[in-house]
Chain A
Amino acid sequence: VQLVESGGALVQPGGSLRLSCVASGFTFSNYAMTWVRQAPGKGLEWVANIKQDGGDKDHVDSVKGRFTISRDNARNSVFLQMNSLRVEDTAVYYCAREGFSYDWNFDVWGRGTLVLVSS
Protein backbone atom coordinates (compact mmCIF):
# COMPACT_ATOMS: atom_id res chain seq x y z
CA VAL A 1 0.00 0.00 0.00
CA GLN A 2 1.62 3.24 -1.12
CA LEU A 3 0.82 6.86 -1.93
CA VAL A 4 3.27 9.00 -3.89
CA GLU A 5 2.75 12.74 -4.23
CA SER A 6 4.30 14.97 -6.87
CA GLY A 7 3.94 18.41 -8.38
CA GLY A 8 5.29 20.57 -5.60
CA ALA A 9 7.42 23.52 -6.68
CA LEU A 10 8.42 27.12 -6.08
CA VAL A 11 5.68 29.42 -7.35
CA GLN A 12 5.02 33.14 -7.11
CA PRO A 13 2.09 34.56 -5.15
CA GLY A 14 -1.00 34.50 -7.34
CA GLY A 15 0.27 31.54 -9.32
CA SER A 16 -1.15 28.06 -9.83
CA LEU A 17 0.02 24.53 -9.22
CA ARG A 18 -1.46 21.06 -9.62
CA LEU A 19 -0.48 18.36 -7.16
CA SER A 20 -0.87 14.66 -7.95
CA CYS A 21 -0.98 11.57 -5.77
CA VAL A 22 -0.71 8.10 -7.26
CA ALA A 23 -1.92 5.13 -5.24
CA SER A 24 -0.82 1.52 -5.43
CA GLY A 25 -1.32 -1.70 -3.51
CA PHE A 26 -5.05 -1.30 -2.91
CA THR A 27 -8.30 -0.82 -4.85
CA PHE A 28 -8.19 2.95 -5.18
CA SER A 29 -11.80 3.38 -6.30
CA ASN A 30 -13.05 1.90 -3.01
CA TYR A 31 -11.59 4.68 -0.86
CA ALA A 32 -12.19 8.35 -0.19
CA MET A 33 -9.00 10.42 -0.37
CA THR A 34 -7.74 13.50 1.43
CA TRP A 35 -5.09 16.21 1.29
CA VAL A 36 -3.47 17.46 4.52
CA ARG A 37 -0.82 20.16 4.68
CA GLN A 38 1.90 21.15 7.11
CA ALA A 39 3.53 24.58 7.02
CA PRO A 40 7.25 24.61 7.86
CA GLY A 41 7.73 23.88 11.55
CA LYS A 42 3.97 23.90 12.15
CA GLY A 43 1.17 21.42 12.78
CA LEU A 44 -1.22 19.58 10.50
CA GLU A 45 -4.15 21.13 8.65
CA TRP A 46 -6.75 19.19 6.68
CA VAL A 47 -7.28 20.73 3.25
CA ALA A 48 -9.80 18.75 1.24
CA ASN A 49 -11.31 15.34 0.62
CA ILE A 50 -13.20 13.52 -2.10
CA LYS A 51 -15.48 10.51 -1.97
CA GLN A 52 -14.97 7.31 -3.92
CA ASP A 53 -16.86 8.30 -7.07
CA GLY A 54 -15.68 11.91 -7.01
CA GLY A 55 -19.20 13.24 -6.66
CA ASP A 56 -18.84 14.54 -3.12
CA LYS A 57 -16.02 16.92 -2.19
CA ASP A 58 -15.22 19.15 0.76
CA HIS A 59 -12.61 21.87 1.27
CA VAL A 60 -11.45 23.81 4.30
CA ASP A 61 -12.74 27.39 4.30
CA SER A 62 -9.28 28.93 3.85
CA VAL A 63 -8.92 27.34 0.39
CA LYS A 64 -12.51 27.39 -0.87
CA GLY A 65 -12.75 29.08 -4.24
CA ARG A 66 -8.99 28.68 -4.81
CA PHE A 67 -8.26 24.94 -4.48
CA THR A 68 -10.14 22.05 -6.06
CA ILE A 69 -9.73 18.37 -5.32
CA SER A 70 -10.44 15.81 -8.04
CA ARG A 71 -9.68 12.18 -8.82
CA ASP A 72 -9.26 9.78 -11.72
CA ASN A 73 -10.03 6.24 -10.64
CA ALA A 74 -8.75 4.81 -13.94
CA ARG A 75 -5.32 6.26 -13.13
CA ASN A 76 -5.45 5.56 -9.39
CA SER A 77 -4.84 9.23 -8.81
CA VAL A 78 -6.10 12.15 -6.78
CA PHE A 79 -5.26 15.75 -7.59
CA LEU A 80 -5.26 19.16 -5.95
CA GLN A 81 -5.56 22.13 -8.28
CA MET A 82 -4.29 25.20 -6.44
CA ASN A 83 -4.98 28.66 -7.86
CA SER A 84 -4.39 32.17 -6.53
CA LEU A 85 -1.66 30.84 -4.27
CA ARG A 86 -0.67 32.85 -1.23
CA VAL A 87 2.50 32.92 0.85
CA GLU A 88 0.56 31.23 3.66
CA ASP A 89 -0.12 28.21 1.41
CA THR A 90 3.55 27.28 1.71
CA ALA A 91 3.60 23.77 3.17
CA VAL A 92 4.31 20.13 2.63
CA TYR A 93 1.15 18.63 1.15
CA TYR A 94 0.34 15.06 2.11
CA CYS A 95 -2.07 12.75 0.37
CA ALA A 96 -3.87 10.31 2.69
CA ARG A 97 -6.31 7.47 2.33
CA GLU A 98 -9.54 7.44 4.30
CA GLY A 99 -10.21 4.01 5.72
CA PHE A 100 -13.59 2.32 5.74
CA SER A 101 -14.39 2.76 9.39
CA TYR A 102 -15.58 6.40 9.23
CA ASP A 103 -15.01 9.71 7.46
CA TRP A 104 -11.50 11.17 7.90
CA ASN A 105 -10.00 7.90 9.07
CA PHE A 106 -6.52 8.69 7.71
CA ASP A 107 -4.94 5.25 7.75
CA VAL A 108 -2.28 5.58 5.00
CA TRP A 109 -0.17 8.65 4.20
CA GLY A 110 2.23 9.57 1.44
CA ARG A 111 5.64 11.17 1.96
CA GLY A 112 4.44 14.60 0.87
CA THR A 113 5.39 17.21 -1.71
CA LEU A 114 6.67 20.71 -0.89
CA VAL A 115 4.88 23.80 -2.18
CA LEU A 116 6.80 27.05 -1.70
CA VAL A 117 4.97 30.27 -2.48
CA SER A 118 7.39 33.16 -2.65
CA SER A 119 8.38 36.09 -4.83
Chain B
Amino acid sequence: EIVMTQSPVTLAVTPGEPASISCRSSQSLLHSDGNNYLDWFRQKPGQSPQLLIYLRSNRASGVPDRFSGSGSGTDFSLKISRVEAEDVGVYYCMQALQSPPTFGQGTKVEIK
Protein backbone atom coordinates (compact mmCIF):
# COMPACT_ATOMS: atom_id res chain seq x y z
CA GLU B 1 0.00 0.00 0.00
CA ILE B 2 1.01 3.62 -0.51
CA VAL B 3 2.43 5.23 2.63
CA MET B 4 1.60 8.90 3.24
CA THR B 5 3.87 11.03 5.45
CA GLN B 6 2.96 14.50 6.66
CA SER B 7 5.03 17.24 8.27
CA PRO B 8 5.06 18.92 10.65
CA VAL B 9 3.14 16.94 13.26
CA THR B 10 2.04 20.15 14.97
CA LEU B 11 1.89 23.68 13.62
CA ALA B 12 1.27 26.76 15.78
CA VAL B 13 0.28 29.80 13.75
CA THR B 14 -0.49 33.42 14.52
CA PRO B 15 -3.86 34.57 13.15
CA GLY B 16 -3.41 36.38 9.86
CA GLU B 17 -0.15 34.60 9.12
CA PRO B 18 0.29 31.90 6.44
CA ALA B 19 0.65 28.21 7.14
CA SER B 20 1.88 25.29 5.08
CA ILE B 21 1.59 21.52 5.53
CA SER B 22 3.67 19.04 3.58
CA CYS B 23 2.58 15.58 2.44
CA ARG B 24 4.78 12.98 0.78
CA SER B 25 3.69 9.68 -0.79
CA SER B 26 5.76 6.52 -1.11
CA GLN B 27 4.94 6.37 -4.83
CA SER B 28 3.76 8.80 -7.44
CA LEU B 29 0.11 9.83 -7.31
CA LEU B 30 0.16 11.14 -10.87
CA HIS B 31 -2.25 9.12 -13.00
CA SER B 32 -2.05 8.72 -16.75
CA ASP B 33 -5.18 10.91 -16.97
CA GLY B 34 -3.06 13.83 -15.76
CA ASN B 35 -4.60 14.07 -12.30
CA ASN B 36 -2.75 13.77 -9.02
CA TYR B 37 -4.99 11.66 -6.78
CA LEU B 38 -4.32 13.54 -3.58
CA ASP B 39 -7.00 14.96 -1.27
CA TRP B 40 -6.90 17.05 1.88
CA PHE B 41 -9.30 16.84 4.82
CA ARG B 42 -9.71 18.86 7.98
CA GLN B 43 -11.11 17.48 11.21
CA LYS B 44 -12.17 20.18 13.65
CA PRO B 45 -12.17 19.25 17.35
CA GLY B 46 -15.04 16.89 18.14
CA GLN B 47 -16.21 16.74 14.54
CA SER B 48 -16.02 14.37 11.61
CA PRO B 49 -13.52 14.98 8.78
CA GLN B 50 -14.44 17.42 6.03
CA LEU B 51 -13.15 17.40 2.45
CA LEU B 52 -11.12 20.56 1.72
CA ILE B 53 -9.18 19.88 -1.47
CA TYR B 54 -9.57 17.12 -4.04
CA LEU B 55 -7.33 16.03 -6.91
CA ARG B 56 -4.43 18.06 -5.53
CA SER B 57 -5.74 21.57 -6.03
CA ASN B 58 -9.54 21.72 -6.37
CA ARG B 59 -11.37 23.31 -3.47
CA ALA B 60 -14.46 21.47 -2.29
CA SER B 61 -17.78 23.28 -2.16
CA GLY B 62 -17.84 26.06 0.43
CA VAL B 63 -14.10 26.00 1.15
CA PRO B 64 -12.63 29.51 1.37
CA ASP B 65 -10.09 30.54 -1.26
CA ARG B 66 -7.42 31.07 1.41
CA PHE B 67 -6.93 27.29 1.16
CA SER B 68 -4.85 26.04 -1.76
CA GLY B 69 -3.24 22.76 -2.73
CA SER B 70 -0.18 22.20 -4.88
CA GLY B 71 2.51 19.70 -5.79
CA SER B 72 2.82 16.72 -8.09
CA GLY B 73 4.06 13.15 -8.11
CA THR B 74 5.11 12.40 -4.56
CA ASP B 75 5.35 15.83 -2.92
CA PHE B 76 2.34 17.96 -2.08
CA SER B 77 1.44 20.85 0.16
CA LEU B 78 -1.60 22.55 1.60
CA LYS B 79 -1.32 26.27 2.15
CA ILE B 80 -3.51 28.57 4.19
CA SER B 81 -2.80 32.13 3.08
CA ARG B 82 -4.08 33.81 6.26
CA VAL B 83 -4.93 31.57 9.18
CA GLU B 84 -8.12 32.26 11.09
CA ALA B 85 -9.17 30.96 14.50
CA GLU B 86 -11.72 28.63 12.89
CA ASP B 87 -8.95 26.82 11.00
CA VAL B 88 -7.81 24.91 14.09
CA GLY B 89 -7.98 21.16 13.79
CA VAL B 90 -6.13 18.20 12.36
CA TYR B 91 -5.38 18.16 8.65
CA TYR B 92 -4.97 14.90 6.75
CA CYS B 93 -3.77 14.18 3.26
CA MET B 94 -5.04 11.05 1.53
CA GLN B 95 -4.12 9.23 -1.65
CA ALA B 96 -6.98 8.08 -3.84
CA LEU B 97 -4.89 6.49 -6.56
CA GLN B 98 -5.09 2.85 -5.54
CA SER B 99 -6.70 0.56 -3.02
CA PRO B 100 -6.54 0.84 -0.13
CA PRO B 101 -6.85 4.63 0.05
CA THR B 102 -4.43 5.72 2.76
CA PHE B 103 -4.14 8.78 4.95
CA GLY B 104 -1.22 10.69 6.38
CA GLN B 105 -0.84 10.65 10.15
CA GLY B 106 -2.25 14.17 10.44
CA THR B 107 -0.98 17.67 11.22
CA LYS B 108 -2.49 19.50 14.15
CA VAL B 109 -2.92 23.22 13.53
CA GLU B 110 -3.08 25.39 16.63
CA ILE B 111 -3.49 29.10 17.10
CA LYS B 112 -0.76 30.97 18.99
Q: Assess whether B92 is in contact with A43, with CB atoms less than 8 Å apart.
A: yes
Secondary structure call for the B interface:
loop
B45: shortest Cβ distance to chain A, in Å? 12
Q: What 5 A-B pairs have minimum CB-CB distances, sorted nearest first?
A: A104-B96, A104-B101, A109-B48, A44-B103, A46-B101
Q: Which of B19-27, B50-58, B64-72, B75-83 contacts A (4 or more CB under 8 A)?
A: B50-58
**A-side interface residues, number (CB < 8 Å):** 21
12 contacts between A and B (CB under 8 A): A43-B92, A43-B103, A44-B41, A44-B43, A45-B103, A58-B100, A102-B55, A104-B101, A105-B54, A107-B51, A107-B54, A111-B48
Taking CB atoms, residues of chain B closer than 8 Å to A43 are 92, 103-106
B38: shortest Cβ distance to chain A, in Å? 11
Interface residues on B, range: 20 to 34
B interface with A by C-beta (< 8 Å) = 35, 37, 39, 41, 43, 47-51, 54-55, 60, 92, 94, 96, 99-106
| A108 nearest in chain B by CB position | B51
Q: Which of A94, A103, A105 is the one whose CB lies under 8 Å from B49?
A: A94
Complex Cα distance, B60 from A109, in Å, reads 13
Given known A46-B101, A111-B48, A112-B48, contact A105–B96 (CB-CB < 8 A): yes
